[in-house]
Amino acid sequence: MEKKNGIGCRVCHYQEIDSTNIQARRLAEEGAPHGSVIVAEAQTAGRGRHGRSWVSEPGSGLWFSLLLRPDYLPDRASMVTLVAAMAVTKGIRRITGQPAEIKWPNDVVLEGKKVCGILTELNARIERINYIIVGIGINIRRQQFPPELREKATSLEQDQELQIDRNLLLEAVLEEFELYYGQFLQRLDVSLFQEEYEQLLVNRNRQVQVLDPAGDYQGIARGINEKGELLVECGQGLVRVNAGEVSVRGIYGYT
């Protein structure tokens, strides 16, 4: 998987680490190059969004982080999460044949349940990004989810006959990431894959609740614009929801 440039130029593999995102940050501070990949068999302090933990038992999933060192301004960084969701969804489809879909902006779902979460972390000064860490956790082996997640979470090997090669999956996701990140870099927006993204968007034409610090509201998700904002049709017309600011939830269940 070693490539001279680009995503996967260096792969650091650990049997066990606290969190691949934390390790990526340490390596970034030591000067690790753009495109470095940090992957672990197990994480002892795996992190999810909103300060939650991410259970990452040995061999039960693919836990990894990508280190990016871009030249664009910090206001573009939230679109990298959309690139990652595209890459994971396409990678899963290619390797397993399963109909993975995107729950805007951070999750990938299978039959309405979350199979992957993405945690994008930005280290920046006002006008300059130092680095971005994209943490990706894909549940692979059937696990015992805690009761509060049982209705919401799943893994790729739900069907016990299925045996997924984690290296192949990682390679496929990195290849797809390289492709869509390249498209993003051409225009510094998601317009080159906007239509493809919308085809994979599980929230499309569904009722969603937008959890906005200024007040929650409901509407119907119609798609995304070139900035990767979710377009939600509600009482005030079409509202643009920015990935960095709010969360979106289905009103009849997780999606």
Cβ proximity to ligand BTN: between 64 and 181 the closer is 64
Provide, rounded to whole angstroms, the least separation between the CB of residue 176 and ligand BTN.
Answer: 17
- The three-class DSSP label of residue 173 is helix
Beta-carbon contacts of 45 under 8 Å, excluding residues fewer than 6 positions away, are 18, 19, 22, 53
Provide, rounded to whole angstroms, the least separation between the CB of residue 236 and ligand BTN.
Answer: 29
Cβ proximity to ligand BTN: between 13 and 52 the closer is 52
Distances (CA, A) of 249 to 28, 61, 210, 245: 33, 24, 7, 14
Cβ proximity to ligand BTN: between 105 and 219 the closer is 105
Note the helical H segments in 51-152. Answer: 78-96
Provide, rounded to whole angstroms, the least separation between the CB of residue 127 and ligand BTN.
Answer: 27
Q: Which residue ranges make up the site for ligand BTN (CB under 6 A)?
A: 19-21, 43, 46-49, 52, 54, 56, 63-65, 106, 117-119, 135-137
Provide, rounded to whole angstroms, the least separation between the CB of residue 136 and ligand BTN.
Answer: 6
- Unique residue bearing structure tokens 């409901």: 218
Cβ proximity to ligand BTN: between 70 and 137 the closer is 137
Cβ proximity to ligand BTN: between 118 and 194 the closer is 118
Region for residue 241 given its phi and psi (left: phi exceeds 0; alpha: psi -120 to 50; beta: otherwise): beta
Count of C-beta atoms within a 10 Å radius of residue 41:
18
Cβ proximity to ligand BTN: between 20 and 194 the closer is 20
| CB distance 43 to 20 below 8 Å | yes
CA dist., res. 66 & res. 36, Å (int): 6
Strand bridging mode 128-139 / 10-17: unpaired
Cβ proximity to ligand BTN: between 153 and 194 the closer is 153
Distances (CA, A) of 101 to 3, 36, 92, 189, 202: 29, 26, 10, 21, 6
Tokens representing 206 are 């569904």
Provide, rounded to whole angstroms, the least separation between the CB of residue 85 and ligand BTN.
Answer: 11
Provide, rounded to whole angstroms, the least separation between the CB of residue 207 and ligand BTN.
Answer: 22
- The residue sitting closest to ligand BTN, measured at its beta carbon, is 117
Provide, rounded to whole angstroms, the least separation between the CB of residue 15 and ligand BTN.
Answer: 15
